[in-house]
Amino acid sequence: MKATAVGQAELKLFWRNRTALFNSLLLPLLLVPALMAADADGVPLIVGLTGFVLLMAVYYNLVTTFVARREELVLKRLRVGELTDPEILFGASLPSVVVALGQTALFAVVVGVTTGVALPARPWFLVAGVAGGVIVFALLAAASSAFTRTVEMAQVTSLPMLVACAFGAGLFFPLSVLPDGVASVLRLLPLSPVLDLLRAGWSDGPVLRPLIVLTVWIVLGIYAVRRWFRWDPRR
Amino acid sequence: MTAIEVRGLTRRYSGGFEAVRGVSFDVERGEMFALLGTNGAGKTSTVEVVEGLSRPAAGTVSVLGHDPFRERSLVRPRVGVMLQEGGFPPDLTVTEATKMWAGTLTSPRPVDEALSLVDLAHRASVRVKQLSGGERRRLDLALALLGRPEVLFLDEPTTGLDPESRRNTWELIRSLLREGVTVLLTTHYLEEAQALADRLAIMHRGRIVAQGTVSEVVDAYPARISFVPPAGIPLPVVVSEDGSGRVTVRTNNLQQTLHELLAWAHVNSVELSGLDARSASLEEAFLAIAEEAA
Ligand SMILES: Nc1ncnc2c1ncn2[C@@H]1O[C@H](COP(=O)(O)OP(=O)(O)OP(=O)(O)O)[C@@H](O)[C@H]1O
Ligand SMILES: [Mg+2]
C-alpha cells in the first residue's frame, strides 16, 4: 500500500525526534509507579496504561505531527501527489499507531505476567477497544490540529482533551466518588468507552453502551476532520 | 489535442477575496504555456486550482480530459507538480525524501536518476534542512519529475537558482518538452518565458490581460527608436521627450519608420547620435500592461 511509504518516512522522523520519543515511550513508563500505588490489581493497571498510551502516544503525538507537517508544507506537498487525503493521514499516523500498539502489548504482557492476570475471557472486546481507541484518538488529533497554529501550541490545545479524558475515564480516581449525574456525563467522553471495553475483556461489564458511544465518537471525529482539517498553513 | 482546458475560472478565498476572476486558456499536448504577472496577480491561485488542490468557485477545469478536483485519482498519476512553496520533512535526507515520494507513485523513476536530472546526486545523503534554497527547489523539481508525468506544473521553478542551475533547468525542461511533456509554468523571469514558452498569458489582478505567442503579445506594443535630436532642424516624425536630451519615436512599423528617419538624416546631412532602435520586448509589453492596468 502506497501510504506506508509515508509511514516509513514518519517512523524515521519519529526516531529522530527526542520530544516525541520521550512523550510516547518514556512518559507512560513514569506513570507505572503512580498507577501501581493507586491500585495493585493487574487488570486496572493494564487498562490505565493503555489509556495513557492512547492519550500520549496516539493523541498528543499526532496533534504535534499533523501541525508540524502542515506548517512545514509537507501536507500540502503530499496533497499534490497520488495519495488520497485519508491515505496521507493514515500514513502520517502509522508510526504513532504502531508504537502505541507495541507499547500496549508490552505493558499487557509484563503486567499480566508479574501480577498474575488471567487471560482475557472475551479477547474480542480488548481488540475492539484498542482498535477503536486508536482510530478515535487519531481522528481527534487530526481535528485538534486544525485549531493549533504551532507545534508549541499543541501543549495547550491538547490539554482539555487529555485532562477531560483522563478524569472522565477514571484514570486518577474512580468515578464512583463523583455524583451520579457528573459520572454518567464523564462516561460519554471518548476514552471512557475504550477502557470499558478493555475491562469487559476480563469481566462481564456492559459492552453495548461503550460500543455505541465509541462509534458515535468515531463518526463525530470523521465529520470534524472532513469539516475542519487544514492542509495548508495559509487560511 | 488539448491537455489543459480552463474556462471562466474563478477562485475565491475564505475571506471572500476573488483572487482569480474568469480566467480561460488552453494548453495543447507537448506545449509549454507560461503564466506571467505581477506579485499577487493570481498565478499561483490559478495553477493550484488546475492542479486540483482546490475547487473553482466558478468555471471549469479539465486536465487530460478529467476534472482534476473530482477525478483526482485519475489525473494525479499522470501529472507532476512543483508548488511555489512546498515542503519536505526537514529531518529526512534527500534520498529518504525522494524514496518516500517514489513509494507513493504508480511508476516512479529510479531515485538516483531523478536526483541526477537536477544535479543533486552529490547531496543525496544530506538532510533536507541543510540544503540551500536553490537545492531545495531542485529537490522539489526532482519529485515533480519522479512519476514520469505527462503534464508538469511548475510554479516559479527557477526562483532562487543561480544562473548556471537556471540554465541547466531550462535544458532539462526543453528535453522534457521534446519528449512530449506538457508544461504549465509561472515565472517572473521574462527571458525564461521567452526562451521556453510556446504561448503565454499575462495576468493582472485576477484577470488575463494579454494572451498568445510571445510575438503576438509583443507585437501589440510599438517598437521604439531613440536618439539625440540634431539642433536647429524640425524632425520628420512625432517624438516624445523624457528630459534626458534624447527623444523617442514609437512605431508599429519599425523598418519603415527607421528607413524614413535615416533617409531624412542622410538628405539633411545630420547625425542621429546615440541611435537605438528596438522591437518591443516581452519586458516592455509586461511593464506596459502592468502600468495600463494599474
Ligand atoms: N489563502 C489565501 N487567503 C486569502 N488570500 C489569498 C490566499 N492566498 C493568496 N491570496 C491572495 O490572492 C492574491 C493572488 O495570490 P497568488 O499567490 O495567486 O499570486 P501570484 O500571482 O502567484 O503572486 P506571486 O508572483 O507573488 O507568487 C494575492 O492578493 C494574495 O494575497
Ligand atoms: Mg505565485
pLDDT digit string, tens, across residues A12-70: 999 998 888 887 778 767 776 766 665 557 888 888 889 989 998 899 999 999 999 99
Match 517572473 to its residue by C-alpha cell. B188
Mutate to test the interface with B, among A65, A82, A85, A151 (most CBs of B within 10 A): A82
**Do B233 and B270 touch, CB atoms closer than 8 A?**
yes
Reported residue count of chain B is: 294
Instruction: Spell B135-172 as b/e; 16+ CB within 10 A means b.
Output: bbbbbbbbbbbbbbbbbbbbbbbbeebeeebbebbbeb
Distances, alpha carbon A55 to alpha carbons A159, A163, A201, in Å: 10, 9, 20
> d(Cα A194, Cα A54) in Å, to the nearest integer?
10
Predicted model pTM: 0.88
Cα B177–chain centre separation: 15
Strand partners, B127: B93
Q: Which three cell numbers stand for residue A107?
A: 505493558
> d(Cα A74, Cα B87) in Å, to the nearest integer?
4
Ligand 1 centroid from CA B242, angstroms = 35
Summarised one tens digit per residue, pLDDT across range B56-112 is 999 999 999 999 999 999 999 999 999 999 899 999 999 999 999 999 999 999 999
Residue of B nearest to A16 (CA): B91
Instruction: Spell B91-130 as b/e; 16+ CB within 10 A means b.
Output: bbbbbbbbbbbbbbbeebbebeebbebbbbbebeeebbee
Partners of A73 on chain B (C-beta within 8 Å) are 83, 85-87
Q: For residue B233, which phi and psi values (nearest 5 degrees)?
A: -150, 130
Quick one: which ligand is closest to B41's CA?
1
Residue A171 pLDDT exceeds 80: no
> d(Cα B210, Cα B200) in Å, to the nearest integer?
8
Residue B89, min C-alpha distance to chain A (Å): 6
Summarised one tens digit per residue, pLDDT across range B232-289 is 888 888 888 878 889 989 888 899 999 999 999 999 999 999 999 988 888 888 888 8
- Provide residues of A within 8 Å CB-CB of chain B: 2-6, 8-9, 12-13, 16-17, 69, 72-74, 76-84, 235
Answer yes or no: do A74 and B106 touch at CB < 8 A.
Answer: no
The residue among B97, B45, B82, B51 whose CA lies nearest residue B203 is B45
Residue A121 pLDDT exceeds 90: no
The residue among A52, A169, A45 whose CA lies nearest residue A109 is A45
Tell me which DSSP letter residue A180 carries. Answer: H
Distances, alpha carbon A41 to alpha carbons A48, A116, A119, A124, in Å: 11, 9, 14, 22
Partners of A78 on chain B (C-beta within 8 Å) are 104
Residue B211, min C-alpha distance to chain A (Å): 27
Radius of gyration of the CA atoms of chain A, in A: 18
Mean pLDDT of B166-188: 96
Q: Which three cell numbers stand for residue B168?
A: 541547466
Q: Which three cell numbers stand for residue A111?
A: 503486567
Helix (H, G, I), strand (E, B) or coil at B160: coil
Quick one: which ligand is closest to B82's CA?
2
Q: Which three cell numbers stand for residue A115?
A: 501480577
Answer yes or no: do A76 and B87 touch at CB < 8 A.
Answer: yes
Question: So where are chain A's domains?
Answer: 3-228
Reported residue count of chain A is: 235
Q: Which fold has domain B2-218?
A: Rossmann fold (3.40.50)
What is residue B147's predicted lDDT score, i.e. its pLDDT?
Answer: 95
> d(Cα B188, Cα B193) in Å, to the nearest integer?
9
Instruction: Determine how β-strand B199-204 pairs with β-strand B151-155.
Output: unpaired
Residue of B nearest to A77 (CA): B86
**Strand residues in chain A grouped as ranges (E):** none
Summarised one tens digit per residue, pLDDT across range A132-170 is 999 999 999 999 999 999 999 999 999 999 998 888 887
Answer yes or no: do B89 and A69 touch at CB < 8 A.
Answer: yes
Pick the more confident residue, A78 or A118.
Answer: A78
Answer yes or no: do B103 and A8 touch at CB < 8 A.
Answer: yes
Partners of A83 on chain B (C-beta within 8 Å) are 104
What is residue A40's predicted lDDT score, i.e. its pLDDT?
Answer: 58
Match 544535479 to its residue by C-alpha cell. B119
Match 487471560 to its residue by C-alpha cell. A119
Mean pLDDT of A77-88: 96
Pocket of ligand 1 (CB under 6 A): A 234; B 13, 15, 17, 19, 37, 39-45, 84
Match 475492539 to its residue by C-alpha cell. A128
Largest CA distance in chain A: 54
Pick the more confident residue, A118 or A176.
Answer: A118
Q: Whose CA is nearest to atom 10 of ligand 1?
A: B19
Question: So where are chain B's domains?
Answer: 2-218, 221-293
What is residue B294's predicted lDDT score, i.e. its pLDDT?
Answer: 63
